[in-house]
Amino acid sequence: MVCSCKKDLNLKTANRVYGIGDTRACQVVWKEGGWLSKLKIRVQNRLIRAEIARNCRFSSNWRQGEVPSGMSSTSKSRPLTYAAAGVDIDKKDAFTESLGSIMRRTHGPRVIDNPGGFAGLFRLDFNQRLFARNYKDPVLVACCDGVGTKVKLAAQLGIFDTVGIDLVAMNVNDLIVQGAEPLIFLDYIAVPQLDTKMLTDLVRGVAEGCKQSGCALLGGETANMPDVYGKDDFDMAGFCVGVVELKRAVNPKFVKPGDVVLGLASHGIHSNGYTLVRKIVEEAGLDLKSVYEELNVEVGRKKTKKSKNSHKRTLGEVLLTPTRIYAASVMKMLKNYTVKNVVTGMAHITGSGMEGNLCRALPPNCDAIVDTSSWPVLPVFNFLQKHGNVPEAEMRRVFNMGIGYCVIVRPAFAESVAATLKKSGESVYQIGKVVKGKGRVIEQSAGA
């Protein structure tokens, strides 16, 4: 039998199955555009009801909206609404209105209030000198990114605020590579249905990421698409705009042999490689809600010690650790060196690892030699490698392995820049040097 949503349907009662062409089976009563029954059978998240009677042969040719042969229509189909189709406009409008206070916490004096506007307004400069930078040749810098399949893990655990921070981090960390100051952020969230708590947690996370980055959450879009996403699915994308003085924009042409590569520690996996992470968890039979002792350690350069924090994090909490946002530290460091061209290149270490990202900061006549023993590998990477039996080369090709951001500096300023970044709270390691070459990153271990 074919139901009103065009899906083959078997009707089950007790130990008997009634299907297409079953003469023992039944009569279905068509009423108000649906099948009425005492049995509830789920087909594509819809409840199809059928009442089992006797002496009726099903037809396999029924089409959507048709009254089957031999059955009578007892009433007309009910009127359809957008809400009945799965999109509740009133609920969406109420949710959007509730976000005002969350967004305003990220706003500074450059944001212009625009209630009811179709877009956000942001000043590039003031008549007064509140915007003290007063760019002479400002260039806008823009980027777009998402969180990847880390959203699947968030949905599985029901924890959503951390991936909001991730969304901002993945964009802002790319933006500052160009030497740009983050200005505004926009988000796009797509869901099958409006879960107000879940969406509020997501936006709170985005707002927290914006506060850490010093940029304004100027607006966004929540797309309610029940026909596109499954019950527990969702996706999100972010868009960031910043500004940089043209002559201060970072460019690979400034990198020279002899320059030093500094590595800034990551907080964990960040937001790349989660398809592999989830596969390791699945195939190794790991429990996301269990505590694994080897994950609950603090790693320092000289020693590894047990965490003093009394709370031991579960595997799921470790895997959902938000991406570190480097914007405040990097912007402060760049302001300290506005005269000399001290910082020659930067790179955000994401998917494709050190080799696939640091090379983007190099000119075609230079290589970067990176000492992989110069920083501690975070426990989460050793844990995943062990339980997934992942080759070392594959780990380094997929994950950041403990370094989330790189700064290339002139050798005479390496210690000074490292000290400035450490004062801002970063863990900094001198991980390599630039030599003549062909634009490659060569990873090797000095301790091997």
For residues 92 and 180, membership in a common domain is answered with yes
Number of domains the chain is built from: 3
For residues 92 and 12, membership in a common domain is answered with no
**362 closest CA partner among 248, 254, 263, 258:** 254
What pLDDT is stored for residue 10 in this prediction? 45
Whether residue 35 contacts residue 4, with contact meaning beta carbons closer than 8 Å, is answered with yes
Whether residue 50 contacts residue 64, with contact meaning beta carbons closer than 8 Å, is answered with no
What pLDDT is stored for residue 1 in this prediction? 38
For residues 72 and 109, membership in a common domain is answered with no
d(CA 376, CA 387): 19
What pLDDT is stored for residue 30 in this prediction? 37
What pLDDT is stored for residue 300 in this prediction? 59
**351 closest CA partner among 299, 395, 315:** 395
In a domain, 338, yes or no: yes
What pLDDT is stored for residue 133 in this prediction? 58
In a domain, 294, yes or no: no
Residue 448, classified by CB atoms within 10 Å of its CB into exposed (0-12), middle (13-18) or buried (19+), is exposed
Cross-strand partners of 41 = 48
For residues 28 and 66, membership in a common domain is answered with yes
For residues 143 and 44, membership in a common domain is answered with no
What pLDDT is stored for residue 132 in this prediction? 59
In a domain, 121, yes or no: yes
**220 closest CA partner among 85, 88, 106:** 106
Whether residue 76 contacts residue 65, with contact meaning beta carbons closer than 8 Å, is answered with no
**173 closest CA partner among 316, 378, 357:** 357
**360 closest CA partner among 431, 432, 430, 439:** 439
Place of tokens 């099948």: 35
For residues 261 and 400, membership in a common domain is answered with yes
Tens of pLDDT, residue by residue over 60-103, are 444 444 444 444 444 456 788 888 888 889 888 888 888 888 99
Cross-strand partners of 220 = 187
Task: Provide the residue range defining the domain that includes 410.
Answer: 252-270+322-444
Residues of the chain with pLDDT under 50: 1-75, 129-130, 301-307
CATH at 219: 3.30.1330.10
